Amino acid sequence: MNFSEVFKQSNQLCKVSPDGKYLATCVQYRLVVRDVSTLQILQLYTCLDQISHMDWSSDSLFILCAMYKRGLVQVWSLEQPDWHCKIDEGSIGLVSSRWSPDGRHILNTTEFHLRVTVWSLCTKAVSYIKYPKACQKGIDFSRDGCYMALAERRDCKDYVSVFVCDDWHLLRHFETETQDLAGLEWSPNGCVLAVWDSCLEYKVLLYSLDGRLLSTYSAYEWSLGVKSVTWSPSSQFLAIGSYDEKVRILNHITWKKIAQFEHIATINNTKAVVYKEVEKRPAVGSDDLSLHNITIGTTLFNTQSKYEICPPPVQVPVVKPDPDRANPKIGVSTLAFSSDSRYLATKNDNMASVVWVWDMQKMSLLAVLEQTSAVRCFQWDPRRPRLALCTGNTKLYLWSPAGCVSVQVPTEGGFQVQSLNWHCCGETLILLGKDQLCLCYMDTDQEDK
Amino acid sequence: MPESSLDIFPPKVKDICSSSIECRPSPLRQSSQSSLPLHRNYMLSTFCTEKNVQECLSHISQEVSSLGLPPVWMESGGSSEMNVVAVLNCIYDLIQLHRRGLRTLENMEVEQLKSSSNLDYLQLTSTQLKEQLELSKRENTGLLERERQLQLKVKSLQNCLKNEKEEVQKLQNIIASRASQYNHEMKRKEREFNKLRERLNQLLVDKKEKKQAIDVLNNIGRADGKRSLWKTEKTEAKHEGEMYKTLLSDYDIRQRELLLENAELKKVLQQMKKDMVSILSSKKPTLKDDQHQDDDIQADLEEEVFDSSKESVELYCVHAREKLTNSIRLQWRRLKSHVERLDNQASLAQIGRSKNTDAVSRETHEEEMDRLKLEIQQCKDFIQTQHQLLQQQLSSPYDEEKASLLSDCYMLQEKERFRDEWKTLEEQRKIFERERRNFTEAAIRLSHERKAFEDDRATWLKHQFLNLSPFADSNKPQMSKSKSAFLISKTEASAASAPEKLIKRPSDTTSPTPRCVPLTSPSTAELYPTLCLVPENRSTKPKRLTEHVEESSNFLNGNVPAQHKHWNDREDHSSHTLTKEKTSSI
């Protein structure tokens, strides 16, 4: 495993182009585009203000930089560096900006969710979509880029509009049976739209592309409900994480629950492997403080860590949430399927230092990774069943069915990994620190051995 | 004075008599009173004086006659002569009477003492019982009190529960009302918010100073290189069509997947069915007798089995599918029942399986098994009886009592008889053995003697040959011989006495068989049948024995239950094997 040198970035804005060739990073009001393989700077663009959001177009030709405070969006072309485009939302404000799947339109959501403005880069045409709903995930494009589902709120009722992205033709418009719609997500095959209610009510609705209600699922009533929803890449499973610390898996034929994964503090499952991160602080004696450590410098503050396999039963540290506060830190907030839909990684918020990996073939717990500190982020390798995670320290952790490793990021100045992103080829991992970034190259051949 | 004395004293005597009579019902209470005047009478024997002899005589005779004794004085003779003999007799009788009275008195006293102590004891126990009663009463009241308290508690708790429930209901109502109120408020707020948004939108649109704007250097082409199309009816239709196309393709994919899955499952089903059919057909002959009631189903099944080849052709036909699933279900039921039956016969499954493999060896196996089983049974019975006998010898009084209770039971008698027979036989065996030992001893002795005699003769001959002086020790062998004879007789006597000692009959049981067995040692051939150890007639003997055991077990209550049970089990087992054999042969 190799690591690149460290580059500057701000706001953790750093993205690899969809074709995997370029790496765009934002540093204050500058946009830097590098070649992923050589890390040479290819282009450098200067925006009007500090960039708050950056995104690649689907064809990797344009980069969008949004400055929400000023209500501005600037678009840069990689092919024509002197080409520029500036969209000013004016005094109406801007809270969110995104590309349409075709890479020729920009959808801006104005302040107070007054409307969604669709700007066309081809014709300079502007169109408005009124009544967008301010919610967790109100807009979703289907994977093939054909359709857009938009959550709307009119007359205190929730609606979903399905647009054809090609010409923004409203294909379907239907009312949903939700109290307060919180989010929607297309299935990866683009045929089913999952819609879920706010956490006050456990309700997941499944709509066909043509607006028919396929099924409704509710696991329980009264207490706080859905916290996260994720489709498996095969569109076969819908995983629903909820405030009762459980993940329920629905199947795509009957839309009934086929499995339930419970996150219990005491792991008695003998088939699950529990990896516990154990930190070993280097013994700091008076002798060690001299020369050797000072010369190395950084390692003085770094601790070695390794995984130990704990035999069951294992007690997982649990933090009891404050019941008086809103949005209690409890329940499954993050769900991620591996690219082959074989594994599901979950995180339960009141066991913040633990990542659970479930086997979707056996529908059982496969591995538990107990970290020394709270898990910040985890992501599956887009090519193989390999999970990368970080906990805000100087280490990178990797899990694969073969085992678990913790890798010290060998950079100076204590690079603390806050977030990470896989390159689409699965060979490179982009590690984001507070204001730095670093690339990690997997040596896959060695890994496989 | 004499008159007066007479007047005074006879009543006293009378009193004594009356008192002695009176004292019978309650002798102890009167004893002190009655004994005192008697003594006084002895002390001052001024009853008879010279003057009142006649009166005395008449009085005494009267008294005596009243006591039922022969008169002392015959008045018929005219003379007032006393019959001395009669008097003496009378006195003797009186003394006797007195003695008897005293004895009864003593007895009575003892009795009284006993009863008084008894009374005391009873009183004590009664007081104790009373105390106990008091205690239990108190306890009872305490318990009642506790119960009452608990009931009160329960009541209060129930009330509490009721209150809590009411509270819950109330709270739920409150929550519901609040929720509805909240929803209402939210809607109101949302409407207001929407109004504000509209207003804001309007204002922003109206305001000219800072408009939304796009500033593009030059327009870029579409990603697909085409020109954008006008929105027409056509495009709308096209969109619809495309949507349905995607949906259809999705359904198509899904259907294909399902078809594949179904085909696979069907294959599995077919395979399963084939396996089941093969299994069922192989075991059919053995199960026929159990299944003759559903032979028609079997026939149906047969048909369907032949159908299976056709089914592959019309795999997706609904009828075929139904048929397949039905047949599978049927077969499965069959298999299940078969497996259950196998489970039931788990103990004999091994034999059953071996039966299925080959017929000849099975039968021989069976026979061998039966024979061995019977032998084992016989041996066990033998051991059991031995045990029994031993125990009986150890606890004969107990048995006596038991037997007296069950003396009328014929089977017990039979059993006793058998036991006795067994005992006598055992005795005989012992005797025989002893005799044999004696015989061998005697033989040894004889050989010794012969040797001695031989020696003697040799010495004698030697002596005779050497010198003609006779020897004194020539009677030595004679001595030893007599001794040995004595020994034999003694052992015989002891042996003869032994059976009488051992055969302890619990009561006079009317045993029909002769109890006394001739002391002549029985031959081994005779011994074997009685001990049920004959290997020749195995088939009949154990049966009789088990029957007997079964019957006796009905009558006997708990004498040797374990043993009987054991025997019964054994019998069951043998019957099982028999029935099994039957079924298999059919």
ipTM of this model? Answer: 0.77
- What percentage of residues in chain A have a pLDDT greater than 70? 94
Q: In one letter, which amino acid is A231? A: W
> Other CB atoms closer than 10 Å to residue A317's CB: what's the count?
12
- The pLDDT mean for chain A works out to 88
Answer whether A121 sits within 8 Å of B239, measured CB to CB.
no
Instruction: Give me the sign of the Cα torsion angle B211, B212, B218, B219.
Output: negative
Nearest to B243 among A123, A167, A210 (CB): A210
Answer whether B214 sits within 8 Å of A117, measured CB to CB.
no
Q: Is A84 on the interface with B (CB under 8 A)?
A: yes
Q: Is B234 on the interface with A (CB under 8 A)?
A: no
- What percentage of residues in chain A have a pLDDT greater than 90? 53
B positions 164-203 inside 8 Å of A (CB): 186-187, 190-191, 197, 200-201
What pLDDT was estimated at residue A301? 54
Residue A160 has which token pair?
Answer: 């979903």
Nearest to B187 among A59, A156, A189 (CB): A156
Q: Is A132 on the interface with B (CB under 8 A)?
A: no
Å from A182 to nearest chain B CA? 16
Answer whether A169 sits within 8 Å of B244, measured CB to CB.
no
Answer whether B201 sits within 8 Å of A123, measured CB to CB.
no
What pLDDT was estimated at residue A112? 85
Residues of A in contact with B246 (CB under 8 A): 146, 190-191, 209
In a 3-state reduction of DSSP, which class is residue B85? Answer: helix
Q: Which residue of B has its CA nearest to A191?
A: B247
Answer whether B214 sits within 8 Å of A119, measured CB to CB.
yes
Strands A273-280 and A364-370: parallel
Residues of B in contact with A104 (CB under 8 A): 220, 222-223
Q: Which residue has the tokens 């403080």?
A: A289
What pLDDT was estimated at residue B495? 45
Please give the sequence-ordered ranges of beta strands (E in DSSP) within B260-379, or none if there are none.
none
Q: Is A448 on the interface with B (CB under 8 A)?
A: no
Residue A97's DSSP bridge partners are: A108
Residues of A in contact with B176 (CB under 8 A): none
What pLDDT was estimated at residue A193? 94
Q: What is the pLDDT along chain B (586 residues), one digit of tens a residue?
A: 334 334 434 444 444 444 444 434 444 444 444 444 444 445 556 777 777 777 777 787 787 788 777 776 665 555 556 677 777 888 888 898 899 999 999 999 999 999 999 999 999 999 999 999 999 999 999 999 999 999 999 999 999 999 999 999 999 999 888 888 888 888 889 888 888 888 888 887 777 656 677 777 777 777 666 666 666 778 888 888 888 998 899 899 989 999 999 899 888 888 888 887 787 777 655 544 444 444 444 444 444 444 444 444 444 556 667 777 787 788 788 888 888 888 888 756 555 555 555 555 677 888 888 999 999 999 999 999 999 888 888 776 555 555 555 556 567 778 888 888 898 898 888 888 888 888 888 888 888 888 888 888 888 888 777 776 544 444 444 444 444 444 444 444 444 444 444 444 444 444 444 444 444 444 555 555 555 444 444 444 444 444 444 444 444 444 444 444 444 444 444 444 444 444 443 3
Largest CA distance in chain B: 191
Buried b (16+ CB within 10 A) or exposed e, B11-22: eeeeebeebbee
Residue A354's DSSP bridge partners are: A370
What pLDDT was estimated at residue B131? 94
Nearest to A92 among B212, B218, B223 (CB): B212
Q: Note the pLDDT tens digit of each residue in A122-160.
A: 888 888 898 899 888 999 999 989 999 999 988 888 999
Buried b (16+ CB within 10 A) or exposed e, A125-160: eeeebebbbebbebbbbbbebbbbbbbbbeeeebbb
In a 3-state reduction of DSSP, which class is residue B301? Answer: helix
What pLDDT was estimated at residue A40? 92
Answer whether B210 sits within 8 Å of A90, measured CB to CB.
yes
Nearest to B212 among A117, A189, A190 (CB): A117
Answer whether B214 sits within 8 Å of A86, measured CB to CB.
yes
Q: Which residue has the tokens 């203000």?
A: A49
Answer whether B239 sits within 8 Å of A169, measured CB to CB.
yes
Å from A77 to nearest chain B CA? 10
Nearest to B223 among A77, A104, A119 (CB): A104
Answer whether B222 sits within 8 Å of A104, measured CB to CB.
yes
Answer whether B243 sits within 8 Å of A209, measured CB to CB.
yes
Residues of B in contact with A153 (CB under 8 A): 190
Residue A215's DSSP bridge partners are: A206
Residues of B in contact with A85 (CB under 8 A): 214-217
**In a 10 Å sphere around its CB, with 0-12 CB exposed, 13-18 middle and 19+ buried, how is residue A295 labelled?**
exposed
Nearest to A89 among B212, B235, B240 (CB): B212
CB contact at 8 A, A425 and A9 = no
What pLDDT was estimated at residue A389? 93
Which of A123, A135, A174 to probe the B interface (max B CBs under 10 A)? A123
Does residue A73 surpass a pLDDT of 90? yes
What is chain A's alpha carbon radius of gyration, rounded to the nearest angstrom?
A: 23
CB contact at 8 A, A70 and A48 = yes
The closest of A198, A274, A184, A206 to A243, measured between CA atoms, is: A198
DSSP string of B2-63?
HHHHHHHHHHHHHHHHHHHHHTTTSHHHHHHHHHHHHHHHHH---S--STTHHHHHHHHHHH
Å from A47 to nearest chain B CA? 14
Residues of B in contact with A102 (CB under 8 A): 222-224
What is chain B's alpha carbon radius of gyration, rounded to the nearest angstrom?
A: 59
Answer whether B222 sits within 8 Å of A102, measured CB to CB.
yes
Answer whether A90 sits within 8 Å of B228, measured CB to CB.
no
Residues of B in contact with A59 (CB under 8 A): 223
Residues of A in contact with B210 (CB under 8 A): 88, 90-91
Å from A191 to nearest chain B CA? 6
Bond from prior residue into A132 cis (ω within 30 degrees of 0): no
Which of A156, A193, A209, A254 to probe the B interface (max B CBs under 10 A)? A156
What pLDDT was estimated at residue B361? 64
Which of A59, A63, A76, A88 to probe the B interface (max B CBs under 10 A)? A88
Residues A230-246, mean pLDDT to the nearest whole number: 92
Answer whether B223 sits within 8 Å of A59, measured CB to CB.
yes
Q: Note the pLDDT tens digit of each residue in A87-108.
A: 988 888 899 999 999 888 999 9
DSSP string of A7-40?
EE-STT-EEE-TTSSEEEEEETTEEEEEETTT--
Q: Is B231 on the interface with A (CB under 8 A)?
A: yes
Å from B269 to nearest chain A CA? 22
Does residue A51 surpass a pLDDT of 80? yes
What pLDDT was estimated at residue A287? 47
> Other CB atoms closer than 10 Å to residue B535's CB: what's the count?
11
Q: Which DSSP helix (H) or strand (E) runs through A84?
A: strand A84-88
Å from A156 to nearest chain B CA? 6
